[in-house]
């Protein structure tokens, strides 16, 4: 019974905390990428924010739909890390 509760708590933490991290990385990375393209800054921020909400919702679905808690964490942390690296790369390139 304790192992099951740990798995559910881990998935909930992945959905909430990992989803939030993924949403932040999505908003920052996509916002910077769109701002560098031909779109205006306002449009870039609006699109990035809408995609961040979508990313958080998909992360929550992924956390509880994956086969194990490890896959849930990996499926959320890996894209968040890649988008975070993209954000740092775009931010450093503009300075």
Q: Summarize pLDDT for 27-84 with one digit per residue, the tens.
A: 999 999 999 887 789 999 999 999 999 999 999 999 999 999 999 999 999 999 999 9
Is the model's pTM score more than 0.85?
yes
Nearest CA among 73, 54, 53, 51 for reference residue 63: 73
Q: Kindly give the interhelix angle for 2-13 and 69-94, rounded to the nearest 10 degrees.
A: 20
Beta carbons within 8 Å of 74's beta carbon, 6+ residues apart? none
The predicted structure's pLDDT at residue 70: 94
The predicted structure's pLDDT at residue 95: 52
- What does the CA dihedral 34, 39, 43, 49 come to, rounded to 10 degrees? -10
The predicted structure's pLDDT at residue 94: 59
The predicted structure's pLDDT at residue 17: 96
């Amino acid at each position: 019974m304790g192992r099951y509760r740990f798995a559910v708590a881990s998935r909930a933490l992945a959905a909430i905390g990992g989803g939030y991290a993924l949403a932040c990385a999505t908003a920052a990375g996509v916002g910077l990428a769109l701002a560098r393209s031909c779109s205006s800054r306002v449009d870039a921020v609006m699109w990035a924010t809408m995609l961040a909400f979508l990313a958080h919702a998909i992360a929550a679905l992924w956390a509880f739909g994956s086969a194990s808690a490890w896959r849930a964490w990996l499926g959320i942390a890996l894209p968040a890390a890649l988008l975070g690296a993209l954000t740092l790369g775009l931010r450093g390139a503009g300075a």
